[in-house]
Homo-oligomer: A and B are copies of this chain.
Amino acid sequence: MARVFSFSLTLLIFFHCYTAQQFPNECQLDQLNALEPSHVLKSEAGRIEVWDHHAPQLRCSGVSFTRYVIESKGLYLPSFVNTAKLSFVAQGRGLMGKVIPGCAETFQDSSVFQPRQGRQFEGQGEEGQSQKFHDMHQKVEHIRSGDTIATTPGVAQWFYNDGQQPLVIVSVFDLASHQNQLDRNPRPFYLAGNNPQGQVWLHEREQQPQKNIFSGFGPEVIAQALKIDLQTAQQLQNQDDNRGNIVRVQGPFGVIRPPLRGQRPQEEEEERVGNGLEETICSARSVDNLDDPSRADVYKPQLGYISTLNSYDLPILRFIRLSALRGSIRQNAMVLPQWNANANSVLYVTDGEAQVQIVNDNGDRVFDGQVSQGQLIVVPQGFSVVKRATSDQFRWVEFKTNANAQINTLAGRTSVLRGLPLAVITNGFQISHEEAKRVKFNTLETTLTHSSGPASYGRPRVATA
């Protein structure tokens, strides 16, 4: 009996392997869930919350997702990943720096040339002797809630929270893109700091503390390369450091930065040179704010607004092949049902909650429930989705795996029903000409409409759930 069991199980596995092998990117999604982080990496001045990229909906979409919570005075130490990354500042404000290979240190204290002035250079080290020397480094930008930040693979990035409330940043990593030339696992590389818990999201790897890159080289190699003494080289390895990757800055944080204004300074740089990636990428704009209703793409005062950011707005998105959408709707506003034509969409709730229904290719309702602040849900390509705010405000951000993600709506003035001839509607649904006219023309809105309330959406009709 046990033998028979073993044998049949084996056969079952054989079948499983055989079919699984053919379709490595499993998207047979009969049920979706609102996802929360599965791992929390605690640091001295914040935490990194990681969603399990093995979750079927994330695996199908080919992305991983992480939330960074950086406390006041917290510094997220420079790290890089081997994928394209799109981040959204969900809360707070701070500073952000990227180091792009081969680009010049364009932020320079003018007092290097005109000694003894030192404007805009706060906190010049500890000793008087260091006042003779001033810093130069690559661009540092102010970031604030609503900013959407594009980062190319291999580029080191750091964040500093110079506000009072926590700085919360959510990031999507495009594992399935051709820019990731490794496998479909997220891989942060630390330049400084460490992660004593190890890469807990990697099931296959035996967990060991994750150290910074310098830690892997011999100290004398570092000493030779940086022309420093062995002791400092060992210091760079952060061996006895247990602060994690978000550390607390003691005293002032002295970096050269432009004054903070309402107007983003980098918007003046919008004229870019066009001769070769290497030259343009140094000054390429990589941040745009999606929280300014005056720039909304869809705006209805009573209902809310929706802003999109694609490669026409921010050309670097053409390179990283991701785009974003920011939505903010009021109680009982409804986003008309729609599907993503050419992208997967990763939806993260920043405020409030909503009732969401998602329908798959088989016509089954694979999600019917609440999503609320801090939760994530994936809407795969082609799946239809409807959202209805059930709190005073429902605000979310969607990351889409296409530089110019397109949607198709099921209702409204630009919907697929409007594009179909009446004869197709009458014959398709076996309704009268008059009914078809109502179906086609009654809703004049394009995206947002009123809904009658958060009442039950009817009986659940999920297949296997």
Q: A362 with B226: in contact, given A102-B406, A154-B339, A427-B75 (CB under 8 Å)?
A: no
1/0 per position for A400-434, CB-CB distance to B under 8 A?
01101011111110101111111111111111111
Residues of B within 8 A of A180 (CB): 381
Q: A216 with B364: in contact, given A137-B419, A423-B255 (CB under 8 Å)?
A: yes
A424, chain B: closest CB distance, angstroms = 6
Among A31-39, A191-199, A266-274, the one that faces the other chain is A191-199
Among A6-14, A64-72, A299-307, the one that faces the other chain is A6-14
The answer to whether B416 and A78 have CB atoms under 8 Å apart is yes
The answer to whether A411 and B226 have CB atoms under 8 Å apart is yes
Asked if A116 CB lies within 8 Å of chain B CBs, one says no
Asked if A114 CB lies within 8 Å of chain B CBs, one says no
The answer to whether B99 and A419 have CB atoms under 8 Å apart is yes
The answer to whether B363 and A211 have CB atoms under 8 Å apart is yes
A205, chain B: closest CB distance, angstroms = 5
Asked if A298 CB lies within 8 Å of chain B CBs, one says no
Asked if A373 CB lies within 8 Å of chain B CBs, one says no
The answer to whether B182 and A380 have CB atoms under 8 Å apart is yes
Once bound together, how far apart are the Cα atoms of A172 and B127, in whole Å? 54
Asked if A28 CB lies within 8 Å of chain B CBs, one says yes
Residues of B within 8 A of A16 (CB): 14, 17-18
The answer to whether B382 and A82 have CB atoms under 8 Å apart is yes
The answer to whether B26 and A188 have CB atoms under 8 Å apart is no
Asked if A184 CB lies within 8 Å of chain B CBs, one says yes
Residues of B within 8 A of A183 (CB): 23-28, 60
Chain B residue with Cβ nearest A238: B429
Asked if A262 CB lies within 8 Å of chain B CBs, one says no
Asked if A294 CB lies within 8 Å of chain B CBs, one says no
Q: A154 with B340: in contact, given A10-B10, A218-B458, A416-B99 (CB under 8 Å)?
A: yes
A216, chain B: closest CB distance, angstroms = 3
The answer to whether A235 and B363 have CB atoms under 8 Å apart is no
The answer to whether B277 and A404 have CB atoms under 8 Å apart is yes
The answer to whether B220 and A458 have CB atoms under 8 Å apart is yes
Asked if A360 CB lies within 8 Å of chain B CBs, one says yes
Partner of A221, one of B20, B205, B357: B357
Chain B residue with Cβ nearest A12: B14
